[in-house]
């Protein structure tokens, strides 16, 4: 079926984007979640609100600012010029940056909740058992927060797969570079290629259902073991 062959490119691109974004989000989001969970700074909720902004902001607004940020006249353009790029907008790298920001709350919130759920006691116990803060973080906090990490990773991945507005604003529609699934579906519908749209849309439907179901099952199971 030659007419479906070019469907693979947006799927592959989307999976690459979502995987990379999730990995980056776990690296960036974990310290933020830890700080939000443990800090006593009075302004920490303001930081939490900034992290949560993408939840309520229209993706086009976020995309607009990202466009300015990543474009040739913004800091993104400056950074891009170091690598010989005129701008980070309309590149895969730009998409990754945008996705990290856009999906941040979906990763930070569950991890923060998990860190808060076990309180101070396990860390105090670890300290009395000669574990330094860093040691206790790896040997106690991370394992205890595992359900939160799983939820955060899955939600971050799924949310990145499903993003559309931000991609349209900062990514455009460059095949193999920024043309991800959601944009491809839009494209096929615009050009009345219903068969291809059906395959991609139906696939997304199944994928999303599987994601939600597995998160719920995993949380239920870990919750039972953890307590």
Partner 1 sequence: MKADRAAIEARFSGPLGAFHIDVAFTAPGYGVTALFGPSGCGKTTVLRCIAGLNRLSGKLRVDGELWQDDASGTFLKTYQRRIGYVFQEASLFPHLSVRDNLLYGARRAKEDGPAPISLDDAVTMLGIGHLLDRAPGALSGGERQRVAIGRALLSRPRVLLMDEPLAALDRMTKEEILPYLEALRENLSIPIFYVSHDMSEVERLADTLVLLDKGRVAALGPLSELQSDPALPLLRMPEAAVMLEARISAIDEHYALTSLDIAGGTLVVPGRRGSPGKRCRIRISASDVAFVRGPVPETSVLNYLPVRIVSITPPSGDDPQLNLVAALGEDGSGARIVGRITRKSRDVLRLEPGAEVYAQIKSVALLS
Interface residues toward partner 1, by CB under 8 A: 121-122, 124-133, 135-136, 139-140, 143-144, 146, 225-227
- Contacts (Cβ under 8 Å, ≥6 apart) of 144: 114, 118, 122, 226
- Min dist. Cβ of residue 34 to partner 1 (A): 18
Structure tokens at 176: 């193999």
Beta carbon nearer to partner 1, 77 or 110: 110
- Min dist. Cβ of residue 225 to partner 1 (A): 8
Beta carbon nearer to partner 1, 122 or 172: 122
Q: Is 11 exposed, middle or buried (0-12, 13-18, 19+ CB in 10 A)?
A: middle
- Min dist. Cβ of residue 126 to partner 1 (A): 8
- Min dist. Cβ of residue 124 to partner 1 (A): 6
- Min dist. Cβ of residue 143 to partner 1 (A): 4
Beta carbon nearer to partner 1, 101 or 150: 150
Beta carbon nearer to partner 1, 147 or 156: 147
Listing DSSP states for 96-118 in one string gives HHHHHHHHHHHHHHHHHHHHHHT
- Biggest distance spanned by C-alpha atoms of the chain: 67
Beta carbon nearer to partner 1, 16 or 116: 116
C-alpha 14/C-alpha 160 separation (Å) is 8
Which is nearest to 17 in space by CA: 148, 118, 162, 124? 162
- Min dist. Cβ of residue 32 to partner 1 (A): 23
CB 111 within 8 A of CB 29: yes
What DSSP element (H or E) covers 20?
helix 8-38
Beta carbon nearer to partner 1, 40 or 130: 130
């Amino acid at each position: 079926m030659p007419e479906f062959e070019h469907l693979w490119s947006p799927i592959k691109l989307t999976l690459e984007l979502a995987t990379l974004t999730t990995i980056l989000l776990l690296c960036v989001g974990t310290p933020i979640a830890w700080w939000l969970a443990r800090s006593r700074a009075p302004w920490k909720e303001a930081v939490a609100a900034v992290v949560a902004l993408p939840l309520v902001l229209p993706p086009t607004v976020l995309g607009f600012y990202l466009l300015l940020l990543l474009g040739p006249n913004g800091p993104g353009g400056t950074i891009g010029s170091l690598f010989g790029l005129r701008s980070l907008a309309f590149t895969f790298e730009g998409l990754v940056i945008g996705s990290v920001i856009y999906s941040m709350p979906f990763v930070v919130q569950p991890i923060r909740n998990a860190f808060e759920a076990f309180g101070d006691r396990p860390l105090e116990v670890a300290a009395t058992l000669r574990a330094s803060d860093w040691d206790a973080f790896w040997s106690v906090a991370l394992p205890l927060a595992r359900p939160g990490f799983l939820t955060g990773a899955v939600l971050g991945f799924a949310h990145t797969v499903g993003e559309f507005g931000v991609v349209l604003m900062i990514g455009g529609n460059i095949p193999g570079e920024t043309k991800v699934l959601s944009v491809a579906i839009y494209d096929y519908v615009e050009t009345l290629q219903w068969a291809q749209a059906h395959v991609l849309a139906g696939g997304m439907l199944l994928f999303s259902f599987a994601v939600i179901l597995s998160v719920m099952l995993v949380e239920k199971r870990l919750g039972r073991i953890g307590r």
